[in-house]
Structure 1
Amino acid sequence: MAHLQRLLLLGGGHSHVEVIRRFGERPLREAAITLLSPERHTPYSGMLPGYIAGHYSYHDCHIDLEPLCSAAGIVFRRAEARGIQPEAGRVACSDGSLADYDVLSIDVGSTSDVHDMSGALEHGIRVKPVAAFLSAWEGIHAALRQGRQLSLVFVGGGAGAVELAAAMHHRLAKETSAGSARIAMLTDTASILPAHPARVQRIFERVLSGRGIKVHCNAKVVRVSPGRIECADGSSVDADHAIIATGAGAPAWVTASGLKADARGFIAVNAYLQSLSHPNVFAAGDVATMMDYPRPKMGVYAVRQGPILHRNLLHALRGESLRSYVPQRTALALISTGDKHAVASWNGIAFEGDWVWRWKNRIDCRFMATYRR
Structure 2
Amino acid sequence: MRTSRPSGRPASSSLVRAEPNSSRGFGAGPSRPLRVILAGGGHSHLAVLEDWQRNPLKGTERILVTPSSRMIYSGMLPGWIEGLYRRSELEIDIRSLAAATDIQVIEDEVAALDADAKLLTLSSGKILDYDVLSLGVGGHLELSAFSGIKALRPVRPIGRFMEQWEKFERSVAQSGPSQIAVVGGGAAGTELAFAVASRFQDNPVPPRIVLITGQDGLLAGHACGVRERARVALEGRGVEIQQTDLEVGEGGQLLHNGGSARFDLVIAATGSNPPRWLADSSLMLGPGGGVSIGADLQSRSHREVFAAGDVSERADRRLARSGVHAVKAGPILAANLRSFVRGDKLRPYSPRKRTLYLLSTGDRNAILSWGSLSVQGSWVWHLKDWIDRRFVMHFQRLAVSGRADLRRTTLARAMLSPSVVRTALQVSLVVGTCLNAINQGDELLSGEAVSWGRIALNYLVPFLVASFSGARARQTMESAMPFRRSKATETNRSDPFDQETST
With structure 2 as the length reference, what TM-score do the two structures score? Answer: 0.70
Q: 1:318: which partner in 2?
A: 342
> Against the structure 1 CA distance between its residues 290 and 248, is the aligned structure 2 distance closer, same or farther, given a 3 Å change threshold?
same
By percentage of residues, which structure has more helix? 2
Is 1:64 the counterpart of 2:88? The answer is: no
User: Match for 1:51 among 63, 68, 80?
Assistant: 80
Unaligned ranges ≥5, structure 2: 1-29, 401-503
1:321-352 residue CA offsets vs partner (Å, 9 max, x unmatched): 21122211221100001210110011111000
**Superposed counterparts of 1:197-346, under 5 Å:** 197-217=223-243, 219-223=244-248, 226-230=251-255, 236-346=260-370
> Against the structure 1 CA distance between its residues 23 and 226, is the aligned structure 2 distance closer, same or farther, given a 3 Å change threshold?
farther
Read off the aligned partner of 2:58 and give its amino acid letter: R
User: What SS does structure 2 have at the residue aligned with 1:370?
Assistant: helix
Is 1:195 the counterpart of 2:221? The answer is: yes
- 8 Å Cα contact 1:123-1:224 kept in structure 2: no
Q: Quote the sequence identity (%).
A: 35
| TM-superposed deviation, 1:57 | 1.1
Unaligned ranges ≥5, structure 1: none
Is 1:178 the counterpart of 2:205? The answer is: yes
> Against the structure 1 CA distance between its residues 95 and 121, is the aligned structure 2 distance closer, same or farther, given a 3 Å change threshold?
farther
Is 1:162 the counterpart of 2:190? The answer is: yes
- 8 Å Cα contact 2:92-2:392 kept in structure 1: yes
With structure 1 as the length reference, what TM-score do the two structures score? Answer: 0.93
> Against the structure 1 CA distance between its residues 226 and 47, is the aligned structure 2 distance closer, same or farther, given a 3 Å change threshold?
farther
Is 1:10 the counterpart of 2:35? The answer is: no
User: What SS does structure 2 have at the residue aligned with 1:255?
Assistant: helix
- 8 Å Cα contact 1:144-1:150 kept in structure 2: no
1:19-70 residue CA offsets vs partner (Å, 9 max, x unmatched): 1011001112210111000011112121111111111111111211011001
The separation in 2 between residues aligned to 1:86 and 1:267, in whole angstroms, is 11
User: What SS does structure 2 have at the residue aligned with 1:132?
Assistant: helix
Is 1:134 the counterpart of 2:158? The answer is: no
1:144-165 residue CA offsets vs partner (Å, 9 max, x unmatched): 2232434211111111101011
Read off the aligned partner of 2:325 and give its amino acid letter: Y
The separation in 2 between residues aligned to 1:70 and 1:305, in whole angstroms, is 23
Moved more, 86-95 or 222-231: 222-231
Q: 1:86: which partner in 2?
A: 115
User: What SS does structure 2 have at the residue aligned with 1:28?
Assistant: coil
Backbone CA RMSD of aligned residues: 2.0
- 8 Å Cα contact 1:118-1:224 kept in structure 2: no
